[in-house]
Structure 1
Amino acid sequence: MKLLLVSMAVLAVAVYGLEINACHPCPQFWHLFNGNCYRYFGERVTWEAARGRCRDHYSLNGRADLVSIHTEQENAFAYDLFRSSASITSEAAGPTFYGAWIGAYQTTSGSTAPFIWTDGSGLDFEQWLTGEPSNAGNNEGCVHLWRRNAGDDILQGWNDNVCERDAPFICKVVPN
């Protein structure tokens, strides 16, 4: 009888592609928070490349994208992922940059259009730094979490920036 039950379970997995992963609903190296899975990537790429890297990852229930942030708690969690994982590095062509791309962007670059999330929703929660979004040079259409320096761990603010700037990023996906 046990052999029959085991055979049926193996057959179900083979036929339906079921994955029994109740203890670890997130893909490997991802962190579960409030029903979603998150991962910080330290690779420094443009906003568009970061989005592409996120979309290369899947769970059984969906495709990852740059993180959308809808609550103060989610913002603090994403910031803590960035803060605890990020190495603060200097860029050869400019000052030290303390940022990580998130999924807010303007659909028309260089405009004054509202920002939206990569999941298509509007910004129902915002954590802009004072004076932001500024659209400096009429060329800041993408958003990143920002730290003033390595000791700045309480601000958790957002800044609009040039989408072509290289920065690490945070992805989000629904769990298995």
Structure 2
Amino acid sequence: MKHLSVFVVALYAVFAISNVASLSDEWTTFKEGQYIMKILSGPATWLDAVKQCREQGYELLTVESQAEEDEVLAVFGPYITNRLWLGGTDLGKEGSFYWYSTGAPLNFTAWHAGEPSGNNPSNGVKEDCLQYQNKNGVILWNDSVCENEYNFICELYDPCARRPF
């Protein structure tokens, strides 16, 4: 279990979120530490989201337990109106999802029914990247085409984040 503190940067397109500005400077307990949200940019393809996070010193968000899932959705759920990239993928081996930032397998999952649906050879669709998907108000995981553009959440593990800033 991670014992490091976390900063999370939420990246949202302005058109998708009407009242995010009210959250932009709030600090909240998250993943045993603190995080801060900022509106930076988005949407982006999954790979561009990885790049944008890393350019800021962050990684795409990982969710490794039900408790983390509950915390993430308590904070971000109201703003996930469609889809939001997470840091998981099965690029390299179809059906074997892992967290891109660590290479660790997904030991916790929260898939929508019928997901992950994987690749469809008949039409060439390849769904290799993990996202939150809001289906009629139910936010769970889905695999999607990595080249689609969605908003995303980045995180930074900071062992010193428990100190006041």
Relative to the length of structure 1, the TM-score reads 0.64
The whole-number CA distance in structure 2 between the counterparts of 1:66 and 1:105 is 11
The correspondence for 1:157, drawn from 121, 131, 140, is 140
Partner of 2:45 in structure 1? 46
Aligned partner of 1:101: which letter? Answer: W
Answer whether contact 2:7 2:155 (CA < 8 A) is retained: no
Aligned pairs for 1:23-172 (under 5 A) are 26=7, 29=25, 31-36=28-33, 37=35, 39=37, 43-58=42-57, 64-86=58-80, 88=81, 98-108=82-92, 112-118=94-100, 119-137=102-120, 138-149=125-136, 152=137, 155-172=138-155
Distance in 2 between residues matched to 1:27 and 1:68, nearest whole Å: 11
Cα separation, 2, equivalents of 1:107 and 1:140:
9
User: Matched residues, percent identical?
Assistant: 26
Number of aligned residue pairs: 132
Give ranges in structure 2 of 5+ residues lacking alignment.
1-5, 10-24, 161-165
Q: For the aligned residues, what is the CA RMSD?
A: 2.8
Indicate the structure with greater helix content.
Answer: 1
Structure number with greater Rg is 1
Change (3 A) 1:121 1:132: same
Looking at structure 2, the residues matched to 100 and 55 of structure 1 have their Cα atoms a distance apart, in angstroms, of 17
Query: How far has the Cα of 1:54 moved from its partner?
Result: 1.1
**CA gap 1:114/1:26 in 2 versus in 1, 3 angstroms:** closer
1:83 Cα deviation (Å)? 2.4
Q: CA deviation at 1:136?
A: 4.5
In 1, distance between residues paired with 2:105 and 2:86? 14
What's the secondary structure of 1:156's corresponding residue? Answer: strand
Q: 5+ residue gaps in structure 1?
A: 1-24, 59-63, 89-97
Deviation at 1:147, TM superposition (A): 0.6
